[in-house]
Every structure is written in structure tokens, then in C-alpha cells.
Amino acid sequence: MLSHIKKPILLTSVFLVTIISCTSVRVAADYDKEANFSEYKTFAFYKPGIDKAEINDIDKRRFLRAIESEMLSKGFTKSETPDMLVSIFTKSREKVNVQSSGYYPYGYGWGWSPYYWGSYNTVTTTTEGVLYIDLIDANKKELVWQGVGTGYLSQNTNKKEDRMKEFVAAILERYPPGEENK
């Protein structure tokens, strides 16, 4: 008898974890340990790299505006002769989620009714996106820092730009190396 009380609690817990994980951006960063990040004061966007990003031009501009805003807030200056070049790369994949309603062992009378007996599934799709932000030493033309953010994207155009800003802010929070622990 107690087992069908535990099942709704378990399903609710799984649902809440799924919802919470959908709203967050998972971030990782890597960097060249030999680079002196205090030397970088100016930046510009690396057009050849950005042109290869497989997203539409509107979304590219959204990401670039968000990156520019974050870089300026970190004290960088946009320049025609930068110390650092910024590039992006994107990937996305559709995830199909199948959620079972569970089994309802109670029906009305004899026979089978699809409404009261058995189970049913709900199928939804979500888009998981990955944004890479590469920071390149402009003089050496070498990658010195890379941040990666993974999370779910909003299909709602009213929330899309905010979600893109959230991705960029979460990734660039890890720059410069060592600052995220302070």
C-alpha cells in the first residue's frame, strides 16, 4: 500500500530536478597556464571564427552583444588593434523526453477503459545548446582561454535573448582564470 505513495513523491522529485536543471547553464573552462591574462586589455571579434558558427545571423548578433557587454563590464575596451580576439562556436541537439504517467490499477467495473485503466506517455522535445567562447591572443594567434556553456534553449522568442545573455554571463564568469574562486 505504501509503495504507490512513494511513486508520486519520486516522480515529483524527478520532475523538479529536471525543471531546475533545465534552467541552469553547466559551465566549464580551460586555459593556457603560461598566458599572462593581466596583459589583455583590449578585444575585438574574430570574424572568420564567428562566420563559421552554425546559428542564424540574428542569434549571432545577440550572442556578440552579450559578449561585448560582459567584456566591457570586466574592464576591456573594444579596439581595432586588440590584445585579444573573441570567437564563438555553437552546437545544438534535440532531446526527446518520454514521461510515463504510471500505471493506474483502479478502473470502473469490468473491462478496459483507456481513461481509467493502464498508463499513457507524454512525449516532449527540448533543444540543448552548447556555446563555446574562445579567447585568442591576437599577437600569437593562439587560443589562451575557452569557456563552454551547456543548457536548454528557449523556443519562446520573448525569453530567448535573456537566455542567451544568461549563457554568456555564466561562461565569462570563469574569466580570468582564478577569479571564479574569489
* Residue range 35-94, pLDDT digits in tens: 999 999 999 999 999 999 989 999 999 999 999 999 999 999 999 999 999 999 998 887
* Residue range 7-34, pLDDT digits in tens: 444 333 333 333 334 458 999 999 999 9
- In this prediction, residue 93 carries a pLDDT of 80
Instruction: Reply yes or no on whether the pLDDT at 168 is more than 90.
Output: yes
* Residue range 92-113, pLDDT digits in tens: 887 777 777 655 555 555 555 5
- In this prediction, residue 165 carries a pLDDT of 95
- In this prediction, residue 60 carries a pLDDT of 95
DSSP per-residue string spanning 31-61: E-TT--GGG--EEEE-HHHHHTS-S-HHHHH
- Does this model's pTM top 0.85? My answer is no
DSSP per-residue string spanning the chain: -THHHHHHHHHHHHHHHHHHHHHS-EEEEEE-TT--GGG--EEEE-HHHHHTS-S-HHHHHHHHHHHHHHHHHTT-EE-SS-SEEEEEEEEEEEEEEEEE---B---SSSS--TTTSB--EEEEEEEEEEEEEEEEETTTTEEEEEEEEEEEPP--HHHHHHHHHHHHHHHHTT-STTGGG-
Domain boundaries, the chain: 3-177
Q: Which CATH number fits domain 3-177: 3.30.70.890, 3.30.420.60, 3.60.130.10, 3.30.160.670?
A: 3.30.160.670
- In this prediction, residue 131 carries a pLDDT of 95
- In this prediction, residue 106 carries a pLDDT of 53
* Residue range 110-140, pLDDT digits in tens: 555 555 555 567 877 777 889 999 999 999 9
> Across residues 141-155, what is the average pLDDT?
92
